[in-house]
Amino acid sequence: SNIYEKNTITEDGQLMLKKAEKDQIETVWDRYQAQLPQCGYCEMGLSCRVCNMGPCRVDPFGEGPQKGVCGADADIIVARNLGRMIAAGAAAHSDHGRDLVEVLENVAEGNAPGYAITDVEKLKQVALDYGINIDEKAPLRIAGELAHAMQGDYGTRKKELTLVKRAPKKRRELWRNAGIMPRGIDRETSEMMHRTHMGVDNGWQSLLLHALRNALSDGWGGSLIATEVSDILFGTPKPTPNTVNIGVLKEDEVNIVVHGHNPVVSEMILQACQEPDLLRMAKEKGAKGINLAGLCCTGSELLMRHGIPVAGNHLMTELVIATGAVEMMLVDYQCIMPSLGTVASCYHTRMISTSDKARFPGMEHREFHPDNSRELARELIREAIENYEQRGQVYIPVEPVQSVGGFSVEAIISALGGTPAPLLEAIKAGKIRGVAGVVGCNNPKIRHDHGHVTLTQRLIENDILVVDTGCAAIATAKAGLKMADAIRYAGPGLKEVCGALGIPPVLHMGSCVDNVRILILASALADALGCDISDLPVAGSAPEWYSEKAVSIGTYFVASGVYTVLGPMPPITGSMNVVKLLTEGLNDVVGAAFAVEPDPEKAALLIRRHIESKRRALGLDA
Ligand code: SF4
Ligand code: WCC
Ligand code: FE2
């Protein structure tokens, strides 16, 4: 097999890698090769540059230094490093949530033309969760009060975050007793930075416990707020057909690609792409229309709510530009490789950065704010249309794949006929053995999409319903596992249940912040069974994770009681104490733990074994 096949299982990826090589485009895989061998100390989490007495490193073979200049040993250094990864991940999701709350506030004040309250039902329901009196109040007034109340969750005035009330009662008691109940979203991240400053928390156990609390402030705080406010502003997703892979780009249309995370910008771009005067202008320029496609999570946000096609996941972002077919790529933040501007400089593609907090080399910065979004989006689409004339040769080598997305918890419950009972019955009867969340990124250390697709195939073959998000969700969609007739890949029980409901065996639940939808689904199942999340036959996995956000997600899954299997090893092997706590000890603290298994075939076995043991403990197969 050739190098392209070694890097990715996808046909579009392989063909585009060949094209990139011909065009002398450097890709993430080239740069990964150039970094090898990567630093062994860092791989094990044994290097520290927290302070300026360092940088320090601990010798894993016991011959060189065993302590940093300050006296920190391997356990402390590894735990501090992991804590800081989680703080960064939680901060990213939660700040994304904050941006949405700001838009909500501006909508309430009439300062955000083009934005609106789309799901009033959800607005009311979330407002009730916040204890807001909604009687006889106009939606905009409720929105203003809700935005204010949510901002309170970011601060430090509380003993517990508001939305933890959606977790099962047993879980909340467990968090209180373990001392890891999240108090303020910003507070937990800030406290993590404080604790990991030199000379503060030097207990590796207490550091890791706070890391759980920090991650919970993401999952039951910042990310949950991001998802709920996105639904309020842009609509709660419903099952919608869509298409995926690089073939969604169109040879005869103006191609606009949005990349990043926050729907605040991409939703405005979508509106502009549909405006009749701009469509007319595109036609005047000789294009058949304006084709909007997404990448990564902002792509999934548009796919979930509007059936907008997604061109690829994380490792495809450079290759999408190498088609030569993209008139403009607009990015907001997170997972946007700083190499993209360089790739684009070889083609006619115009690269636009849009967020005041995210700049990139080789991109033009055009800042979006709630008050100028609508106008700026129109202006940029006009410029993208102008750019159509500059196009050189294009290469779009594959046909797109059909998929269905849009499975919010609300949509799943409604597909089940209004209550989770039919799903529970199917689980009890053993037709569905359990539910697994497959989430997270791509990483050049793992053959692109191989982890996601293989693991998902093995799980559905064995009657485990898969729910997925983020780049994993895009991977399985590209592999055809979300087509209407994908049930043919499922085991007999899952096939029967999904066939009757008319859903695929792999449900796209959204972007990375939407992992909270999986938590809410798990809570609904636990409540219906009268048990805790940790008692359920469910599991999580991140077969190709790379980002700090993924570490936070994995950690809030585990802290919420979900056994979670990671593909790539996190940088913790320098401390066997930390490894043992995360993979075993946490069972005694939160009723769940991590496992690490880069081979998806073996990861599938771990998950199946776990699900079967939970079924036995619940007496389901007695
Ligand atoms: Fe070295 Fe300690 Fe400073 Fe880390 S905190 S760089 S181990 S002296
Ligand atoms: Ni979420 Fe991972 Fe994709 Fe970025 S977009 S690469 S964090 S899964
Ligand atoms: Fe994401």
Quick check: bond before 55 cis, omega within 30? yes
Two tokens, residue 421: 């009972």
Distance 512 CA to ligand 3 centre (A): 4
CB atoms within 10 A of CB 151: 16
Q: Which CA distances in Å does 338 have to 18, 22, 288, 315, 537?
A: 22, 22, 32, 13, 40
Long-range contacts formed by 63-70: CB under 8 A, 24+ apart? 70/198, 70/199
Q: In DSSP terms, which residues pair with 579 in a beta bridge?
A: none
* Residue 121 identity (one-letter amino acid): E
Question: What H or E segment, with its residue span, contains residue 459?
Answer: helix 450-461
Contact 599, 569 (CB under 8 A): no
Contact 297, 511 (CB under 8 A): yes
User: Closest ligand to 567 CA?
Assistant: 2
**Ligand 2 closest atom vs CA 545:** 2
Q: Is 92 in the pocket of ligand 2 (CB under 6 A)?
A: no
Q: Is 547 in the pocket of ligand 2 (CB under 6 A)?
A: yes
| Secondary structure (3-state) at 179 | coil
User: How many Å apart are CA 572 and CA 43, to the nearest integer?
Assistant: 8
pLDDT at 313: 98
Q: Is 200 in the pocket of ligand 1 (CB under 6 A)?
A: no
Assign 3-class secondary structure to 346-393.
CCCCEEEECECCECCCCCEECCCCCCCHHHHHHHHHHHHHHHHHHCCC
Four-CA torsion 403, 404, 406, 407, nearest 10 degrees: -120
pTM above 0.90, yes or no: yes
* Residue 246 identity (one-letter amino acid): I
Q: In DSSP terms, which residues pair with 330 in a beta bridge?
A: 258, 352
| Secondary structure (3-state) at 569 | coil
Distance 242 CA to ligand 3 centre (A): 19
**Ligand 1 closest atom vs CA 77:** 7
Q: Is 549 in the pocket of ligand 2 (CB under 6 A)?
A: yes
Two tokens, residue 158: 């509380």
The maximal CA–CA distance of the chain, rounded, in angstroms, is 72
Q: Is 73 in the pocket of ligand 1 (CB under 6 A)?
A: no
Q: Set out the domains of the chain in order of their start, with CATH numbers.
A: 74-234 (1.20.1270.30), 246-390 (3.40.50.2030), 407-617 (3.40.50.2030)
pLDDT at 484: 82
Rg of the chain's alpha carbons, rounded to an integer?
Answer: 24
Four-CA torsion 175, 179, 184, 186, nearest 10 degrees: -110
Is the torsion defined by CA of 279, 280, 283, 285 positive or negative?
negative
User: How many Å apart are CA 306 and CA 189, to the nearest integer?
Assistant: 34
Q: Which CA distances in Å does 250 have to 278, 292, 396?
A: 17, 10, 8
Q: Which CA distances in Å does 545 have to 54, 541, 597?
A: 29, 9, 12
Distance 115 CA to ligand 3 centre (A): 22
User: How many Å apart are CA 232 and CA 476, to the nearest integer?
Assistant: 28
Known binding residue 512? Answer is: yes
Two tokens, residue 183: 């108090």
User: Nearest C-alpha to atom 1 of ligand 1 is from which residue?
Assistant: 54
User: Nearest C-alpha to atom 6 of ligand 1 is from which residue?
Assistant: 54
Report strand pairing: 254-259 vs 240-244: unpaired
* Residue 241 identity (one-letter amino acid): P
Known binding residue 498? Answer is: no
Known binding residue 42? Answer is: no
Distance 605 CA to ligand 3 centre (A): 27
CB atoms within 10 A of CB 426: 22
Known binding residue 346? Answer is: no
User: Closest ligand to 439 CA?
Assistant: 2
User: How many Å apart are CA 283 and CA 364, to the nearest integer?
Assistant: 26
pLDDT at 413: 96
Q: Spell out the alpha helix ranges (H) of 169-222.
A: 169-178, 185-195, 204-217
**Ligand 2 closest atom vs CA 335:** 4
Known binding residue 296? Answer is: no
Q: Is 296 in the pocket of ligand 2 (CB under 6 A)?
A: yes
Count Cβ atoms within 10 A of the Cβ of residue 129 and give its class: 0-12 exposed, 13-18 middle, 19 or more buried. middle
Distance 334 CA to ligand 3 centre (A): 7
Q: Is 76 in the pocket of ligand 1 (CB under 6 A)?
A: no
**Ligand 1 closest atom vs CA 199:** 5
pLDDT at 621: 83
Distance 1 CA to ligand 2 centre (A): 28
pLDDT at 2: 86
CA angle at 259 for the pair 254 and 265, rounded to the nearest 5°: 85
Two tokens, residue 437: 């969340």
Q: Using one digit for the tens of pLDDT, what is the confidence trace for 204-246?
A: 999 999 999 999 999 999 999 999 999 999 999 999 999 999 9
pLDDT at 158: 85
**Ligand 2 closest atom vs CA 469:** 8
Q: Is 55 in the pocket of ligand 1 (CB under 6 A)?
A: yes
pLDDT at 359: 98
User: How many Å apart are CA 291 and CA 415, to the nearest integer?
Assistant: 30
| Secondary structure (3-state) at 468 | strand
Q: Is 197 in the pocket of ligand 1 (CB under 6 A)?
A: no
User: How many Å apart are CA 139 and CA 447, to the nearest integer?
Assistant: 48
User: Nearest C-alpha to atom 7 of ligand 1 is from which residue?
Assistant: 68
Closest CA relative to residue 258, chosen from 242, 240, 270? 270
Distance 366 CA to ligand 2 centre (A): 24
Contact 420, 413 (CB under 8 A): yes
Q: Is 180 in the pocket of ligand 2 (CB under 6 A)?
A: no
The low-confidence residues of the chain, meaning pLDDT below 70, are: 1
Known binding residue 348? Answer is: no
Two tokens, residue 384: 């993208």
Two tokens, residue 359: 């700049």
Q: Which CA distances in Å does 130 have to 34, 149, 161, 571?
A: 51, 7, 10, 38
User: Closest ligand to 549 CA?
Assistant: 2
Q: What DSSP assignment string belongs to 58-89?
A: --TTSSS-SS-TT---HHHHHHHHHHHHHHHH
User: How many Å apart are CA 363 and CA 352, to the nearest integer?
Assistant: 5
User: How many Å apart are CA 145 and CA 282, to the nearest integer?
Assistant: 42
**Ligand 2 closest atom vs CA 547:** 7
Q: Is 440 in the pocket of ligand 2 (CB under 6 A)?
A: yes
Distance 313 CA to ligand 2 centre (A): 8
